[in-house]
Structure 1
Amino acid sequence: MGAVRITTADGQAVTVTSTTDTVPNWATRYFGSWWSAEPTTLIDGPTVSADLDEAELMALANVVEQGNADTVEYAGAEIRVARDGQLVTAVQENRSLAYRWDEEWKLLRIVGTDETEIATAAARLARELLRAQLLDKDWAILHASAVTSADGDGDGATILTLGDKGAGKTTTALTLARAGRQLLANDRVFARVDEHGVVQVLPWPSAAAFGFGLLDALDLFETVRTRLASGEQMHPTQHQKVTDALLAGRREPLWKANGKELKPQLWPDQLTSWLSMPLATKGHAVGILYPQITACAAPRLTESSRGVQPGDFFDETTEDRYPDIFGLLPTPGDHTVLREHLDALPHQGLVMSHDPAANATILKEAVTRLAG
């Protein structure tokens, strides 16, 4: 059996175990660039155990069948969930996956018949267990991108970018990362006010999904296409239509039936090995950018009165893909103190266009104003 211990920068930990090498290897690659991921022989504390086991899959499916199961959408597929005291059992038939969470033992068991499916589920739920621990320690999750300076102590001065959907959070983060900052987050970030009144930040590990237009604008499309064409593999959950388009050199966006874009997906470590973007494991916030993308406008700095809004905080009530079906997460905390400290940070509004060079210039000026 292989096991890997995932540990956040502030010491929260989860162990992932499996008799299939794919599962710990996947977890190591998924988390290792953002948090610590080390092989271990000591299995204690919250644990995700994931294996190929058709017999156990059928047994757990039978438990759900005999229970009073609810049916919900989870990770893009229907899941049936049965609860019995401290035990929660669930089955996703179309993915041949079954789960059992034992609250007393803090053990989340996953079984299935496909290595990629069980490895994906194990990484996702290991992150949920770590998320639960962090939230219990007063961390909150922001809808934000973040880049840090390369401080020698590994706790760099961090610029957060907040804004509504389409405002340019990811564009800002990748542009600044291309310019030499360390990428801490392109979509979500953990944040907490410490005993000194400093807003500390941690990354939210995930596959990196960037639209075709952004990859092309930042002159990264050919880099990704060339690496893929050479035989290297992107994230396995990437849609085949995206892979085909990349290989064919087609840059036009692809769309799901529900109107969401199908995006290229990179492993976290490929942000560094493919795109030359070093990653940060923690930081402390020193300023906030509030961008707005206007296609034909001249990039410029602006006054911004936006401030931090309730919608900038992410919790289970805003989760649309991974509802807390196992009851892992604590009661949502009060974000008042964090919001006040964020609003007290220096902030800068700016307008960006579809001109990456002009955006880079104005972002450099904005960051200089905030962080020096």
Structure 2
Amino acid sequence: MSTPTAAQLHAADASVTVLSNTPAVTDWSRRYFGPWWNSIEVPAGSVCAGPLVTADVDEKAYADVAAQVGACPHEEVTYAKAQLLISRDSTGTITGVSPGEGLAYRSEQLGGHVTISGRTVEPLALATARIAREMIRASLLRDGWTLLHASAVVHDDRAVLTFGDKGAGKTTTALLMARRGAQLLANDRVFIKPSGDELRVLPWPSAAAVGLGLLDALGLYDVVRDRLQAGEELHPTQHQDVTNALVADRREPLWEPGGKRERKVQLFPDQFTTWFGMELATGGTAAALLFPRIVPAAVPALVDGTRTLGEDDFMSGTTEDRYPDVFGLAYGINGGGYDLARATVAERLAALPHHQVVLGHDVTANADFLTKLAGDM
């Protein structure tokens, strides 16, 4: 048996330890969460009491859990886009098996210890990071943090939060500002909590989805393609059609059948630094809100508008459909935080400067405009 390895994740006062006899599992968590959640390697023998994910490649353990779930009353749910069979016993232990992914789960101690057994390494590493992230999320939400659907950059500890529906320009705005020296805090969502007179923000690590056309417009397409051709890998959740497009040097947006959803490049968080030279922020203080709108022929500018923070700008159970809390990690808390915490954050954010902006397709002009705007805040 391999020597156990351990990785610890820390965000504010929340922490989780990942323990495994498969080094690739803890290596994955350390890489995936990196500086955003202070992910470090620790001696396995030093692991103390606290939230813990134990994960190993173990065919027998997987088969045992699968047999147990099959023999007991269970329900079928969709979790991470895969079938999951879930059973619960009288002690509060929740057991699950995902036959398609070859994964078995056991959640004990009211979600404080989750054991994952996998048949192969990659699905196990993905599942372990997913559960560890959900445990951190649950701890932060219980501590009064809430989760916004926004991108964010930080300059001198001042965080600019960008809101909008799909296609409004959240990712575009964040990456343009990060390329001009701001620190990238979040691509799609951010934790936020009142602290005295301030609103503190924390990142939510995740694979970042960036469209082929946007990568090309930002001058980053060739970097990604060159790295891919050199043998480096993008996040495994990326659709094969996107990889094929990169190999074939196709730069136009790629759509799912029906044309309703764009298939995008899926980047590891650390690739923003190692591939693009962008610096990552580990926190900041909310300073301003941006509400962008993309108009292809427009000259970037401040515009009049009535857009302000709304209910849809908070993450919630209804928006977290891929990862329902089937393992009892959040104790029933809404996926975006307590109602009171959300209301307090909304009130505080309403008092910050709001900027309605229009951006065109001239990347340099957009970057110049956003950089000046951030400097004036």
The reply to whether TM is greater than 0.5 is yes
Partner of 1:304: 305
- Which deviations, in whole Å up to 9, do the C-alpha atoms of 1:227-249 show, x marking residues without a partner? 11111222222222222211221
- Alignment partner of 2:231: what SS? coil
- The equivalent residue for 1:339 is 346
- Correspondence for 1:225: 225
Contact 1:211 1:261 in 2 (8 A): yes
Q: 1:323 to 1:105 in 2, by over 3 A?
A: closer
Alignment of 1:197-236 (within 5 A): 197-236=197-236
- The secondary structure found in structure 2 opposite 1:314 is coil
Which one of the candidate residues 5, 20, 27 is aligned to 1:18?
A: 20
1:82 — aligned with what? 87
Partner of 1:56: 61
Provide the rounded CA distance (Å) in 2 between the counterparts of 1:323 and 1:357. 41
Q: Following the alignment from structure 1 to structure 2, what is the Cα–Cα distance between the partners of residues 104 and 251?
A: 47
Name the stretch that deviates more: 176-185 or 291-300.
Answer: 291-300
d(CA) in 2 for partners of 1:304 and 1:328?
A: 40
For residues 162 and 197 of structure 1, the distance between their equivalents in structure 2, rounded to whole angstroms, comes to 22
Deviation at 1:105, TM superposition (A): 7.4
SS at match of 1:32: helix
Q: Which digits, 9 at most, give the CA deviation of each residue in 1:207-261, with x for residues without a partner?
A: 1221111101101000110111111222222222222211221112223347432
Alignment RMSD: 1.4
Once residues 208 and 363 of structure 2 are traced to their aligned partners in structure 1, the CA distance between those partners, rounded to angstroms, is 20
Please state whether the residue corresponding to 2:36 is helix, strand or coil. Answer: coil
Structure 1's 256 and 68: CA in aligned 2 closer, same or farther, altered over 3 A?
Answer: farther
Paired position in structure 2 for 1:108: 114
* 1:1-372 matched pairs, under 5 angstroms: 1-8=4-11, 10-40=12-42, 41=44, 42-43=46-47, 44-85=49-90, 86-104=92-110, 106-149=112-155, 151=156, 156-194=157-195, 196-257=196-257, 259-330=260-331, 331-332=333-334, 333-334=338-339, 335-370=342-377
* Separation of aligned partners in 2, 1:227 and 1:103: 43
Alignment gaps of 5+ in structure 2:
none
Count of residue correspondences: 363
Further displaced range: 302-311 or 273-282: 302-311
Query: So what's the TM-score if we normalise by structure 2?
Result: 0.93
Name the amino acid aligned to 1:12. A
Distance 1:141 1:32, change over 3 A: same
2:270 alignment partner, SS class: helix
Return closer, same or farther for 1:105/1:128 CA change in 2, 3 Å cut-off: closer
Amino acid at match of 1:346: P
Distance 1:141 1:104 in 2: 22
Bigger Cα displacement from structure 2, 102-111 vs 16-25: 102-111
For 1:328 and 1:63, the matched residues in 2 are separated by 21
Describe the SS at the equivalent of 1:34: helix
Q: Distance in 1 between matches of 2:111 and 2:309?
A: 39
1:369 positional shift: 3.2
Question: 2:147·2:191 contact (CA, 8 Å) conserved in 1?
Answer: yes
Asked if the contact 1:34–1:280 (Cα under 8 Å) also holds between the matched residues in 2, the reply is: yes
Residue 287 of structure 1: SS of its match in structure 2? strand
Q: 1:317 to 1:103 in 2, by over 3 A?
A: farther
Partners in 2 of 1:262 and 1:279 — Cα distance? 25
2: CA distance between counterparts of 1:199 and 1:114? Answer: 42
State, as a whole percentage, how many aligned pairs show the same letter: 47
Q: TM-score, normalised by structure 1?
A: 0.94
Deviation by residue 1:249-302 (Cα, 9 ceiling, x = unmatched): 111222334743221112111100101110000000111111111222222211
Per-residue CA shift, 1:24-51, capped at 9, x if unaligned?
A: 0000000113111122232220111111
Structure 1: 5+ residue runs without aligned partners? none
Three-state SS of the structure 1 residue aligned to 2:66 is helix
